[in-house]
Chain A
Amino acid sequence: MALLEAKGLRASYGPTRVLHGMDFAIDEGSITAVLGANGAGKTTTLRALCGMVKTEGDVRFGGARIDGRSTEDIVRQGIAHVPEGRGTFVDLTTEENLRLGAYTRKVRAAVESDMERIFSYFPRLKERLRQQAGTLSGGEQQMLAVSRALMLRPKLLLLDEPSFGLAPRLVRELFEIMRTINQRERVSILLVEQNAAMALALADRAYLIETGRVVLSGAADEIKRDDAVRRSYLGY
């Protein structure tokens, strides 16, 4: 069964419509990639799922409608969103950022053990625990953003361009950790990326969007072999 299913998802900023009725689904336990050029509506798709823009259409998460709900409510259902620009609380410490990620959770002990688990993925964060998050490097802030999202214990993780501004080696490292998290913790992932090659290597399924519409969808392997995708997004 699909963990998340969107039908006829539309979104607009003021009078300008950006998404024109998108249909897509995310299978439980899968990694799904959304590819597209600048301005295609990738970020807006994620924002629409979380109720951060004016949205119409039918979105179901675990069978229940979430469209039209407030961002806070949607997040509390178990959808964690790592936003464009990372959304770091720059004046707070690394530790405070992580604790905020677990804000909705009640069991203290579980939060503490999750901190340790996260340090096993990102040992660097442990060294930076008392440091102001704004002083972390770009790569560390990206790790922190992913960690903050994981502290929610989400069923679904939405990642907006995690590779943005990172050195290629760091991107590979980060994507490796994503795969581990997906497999070990059964967290489904919806990944928005410009780096199509990396995204397709990681994902099970992919959607290609152009100007707010899904133009191609399928298993990541098939999409990788598609001639148009290869020419336009993979560059060979």
Chain B
Amino acid sequence: MDAFIHQVLSGLATGGIYASLALALVMIYQVTRLVNFAQGEMAMFSTYIAWSLINAGMGYWPAFLLTVLFALAFGVVIERVVIRPVENAPVLAIVVIFIALLVILNSATGWIYSYTIKTFPSPFPKEPLFGNTYISSHELGAIGVTLVVLALLYVFFRFTPLGLAMRAVAQNPESSRLVGIRVGWMLALGWGLAAAVGAVAGMMIAPIVYLDPNMMGGILLYAFAAALLGGIDSPGGAVIGGFVVGVLENVLGAYVIGNDLKLSVALGLIIGVLLVRPSGFFGKVHVTRV
């Protein structure tokens, strides 16, 4: 029983990270109607920036904060420079650009930092908190950080004029222009926020999976499964999906299919959701009249 509780709790920890990344995917999906395949690599790149800062002697939390700000700016720049020019391009062209971004970021990071695996520090103590045997301090801390990020985002979108404007743009860009919202900047800011959330996810997962340019490949797949499970157009759904996928992955990995086949849980979920309930559990069902 103890082992089972341990599996569930550490599943919640990684689940929180999937939830963050899934939320980043949903945020971009809501304005572009596309899944940003480069989301994971953007997070990975930001995590390397954090690693550089920490290695240069900066304290963990200042480096954390600076990295989040960097990711915010990085997301904005990518939107303005790379995505804006192809705004009205066919879907496939944009998908190709997402994939190009993924490959470029991956290779550039490998080129700058080399492909050797690096350790990434955790800001949380090595010993489990309160002497518990169920969950490590880092896992508990990661859950805490995730919840704080989610709460901040909720407050931002729900209660600030800027958050309201961003929701308006996601829904109806034309009407947004007609009330004077600078739609272009809101889209860029959406990319920035998604990148910032991704960066937090990257920094939280790096102590667990270690830092290397390919660290986000599998994680993005889980995040994608989480977003689909919750409904790709539902932020709340993506978060719940993230936690569910994290727990499922851990429990199934430990008791049913073994660790080697863990990733297939994500793939199975993706296929299952698309077959049975394409709009996910909390997503909107889209019906088109012809």
* Residues of A participating in the B interface, judged by any CB pair closer than 8 Å: 50, 52, 70-72, 75-76, 80-81, 83, 87-92, 96, 99-101, 103-104, 148, 152
A-B contact pairs, 8 of them (CB 8 A): A71-B178, A75-B180, A81-B178, A87-B174, A87-B175, A92-B171, A100-B164, A103-B180
- Tell whether, in the assembled complex, residue B181 and residue A90 are in contact, meaning their CB atoms are under 8 Å apart: no
Q: Does B167 contact A (CB under 8 A)?
A: yes
Q: Please report the C-alpha to C-alpha distance between residue A12 and residue B176 in the assembled complex, in whole angstroms.
A: 22
Residues of chain A with a CB closer than 8 A to B167's CB? 92, 96
- Tell whether, in the assembled complex, residue B171 and residue A103 are in contact, meaning their CB atoms are under 8 Å apart: no
Q: Does B183 contact A (CB under 8 A)?
A: yes
Q: Does B42 contact A (CB under 8 A)?
A: no
Q: Please report the C-alpha to C-alpha distance between residue A165 and residue B280 in the assembled complex, in whole angstroms.
A: 35
* Contact with A72, one of B161, B168, B172, B181 (Cβ below 8 angstroms): B181
- Tell whether, in the assembled complex, residue A75 and residue B177 are in contact, meaning their CB atoms are under 8 Å apart: yes
Please report the number of residue pairs spanning A and B whose Cβ atoms sit closer than 8 angstroms.
60
- Tell whether, in the assembled complex, residue A83 and residue B180 are in contact, meaning their CB atoms are under 8 Å apart: no
Residues of chain B with a CB closer than 8 A to A99's CB? 161, 164
> Which are the 8 A-B pairs with shortest beta-carbon distances?
A87-B175, A104-B180, A71-B177, A75-B180, A76-B180, A100-B179, A103-B179, A81-B178
Residues of chain B with a CB closer than 8 A to A70's CB? 177
Q: Which residue of B lies closest to A103 (CB)?
A: B179
- Tell whether, in the assembled complex, residue A100 and residue B165 are in contact, meaning their CB atoms are under 8 Å apart: yes
Q: Does B182 contact A (CB under 8 A)?
A: yes
Known contacts A99-B161, A99-B164; A148 and B171 CB within 8 A of each other: no
Q: Please report the C-alpha to C-alpha distance between residue A52 and residue B168 in the assembled complex, in whole angstroms.
A: 18
Known contacts A50-B178, A81-B178, A100-B165; A72 and B183 CB within 8 A of each other: yes
Query: Besides A72-B182, A87-B174, 6 other CB < 8 A contacts?
Result: A71-B178, A72-B181, A75-B180, A88-B172, A90-B172, A92-B164
Q: Please report the C-alpha to C-alpha distance between residue A36 and residue B187 in the assembled complex, in whole angstroms.
A: 37
Q: Please report the C-alpha to C-alpha distance between residue A91 and residue B182 in the assembled complex, in whole angstroms.
A: 20
Q: Which residue of A lies closest to B170 (CB)?
A: A91
Interface size class of B (residues with CB under 8 A): 10 to 19
Q: Which of B165, B171, B179 counts the most chain A CB atoms within 10 A?
A: B179
Within residues 118 to 176 of chain B, which ones have a CB less than 8 A from any CB in chain A? 161, 164-165, 167-168, 171-172, 174-176
- Tell whether, in the assembled complex, residue A88 and residue B180 are in contact, meaning their CB atoms are under 8 Å apart: no
- Tell whether, in the assembled complex, residue A103 and residue B181 are in contact, meaning their CB atoms are under 8 Å apart: yes
How far is the CB of B197 from the nearest CB of chain A, in Å? 22
Q: Which residue of B lies closest to A102 (CB)?
A: B179
Q: Please report the C-alpha to C-alpha distance between residue A90 and residue B182 in the assembled complex, in whole angstroms.
A: 20
How far is the CB of A63 from the nearest CB of chain B, in Å? 21
Q: Please report the C-alpha to C-alpha distance between residue A126 and residue B167 in the assembled complex, in whole angstroms.
A: 22
Q: Please report the C-alpha to C-alpha distance between residue A83 and residue B173 in the assembled complex, in whole angstroms.
A: 13
Within residues 213 to 237 of chain B, which ones have a CB less than 8 A from any CB in chain A? none
How far is the CB of A115 from the nearest CB of chain B, in Å? 14
Q: Which residue of A lies closest to B176 (CB)?
A: A100
- Tell whether, in the assembled complex, residue B180 and residue A72 are in contact, meaning their CB atoms are under 8 Å apart: yes
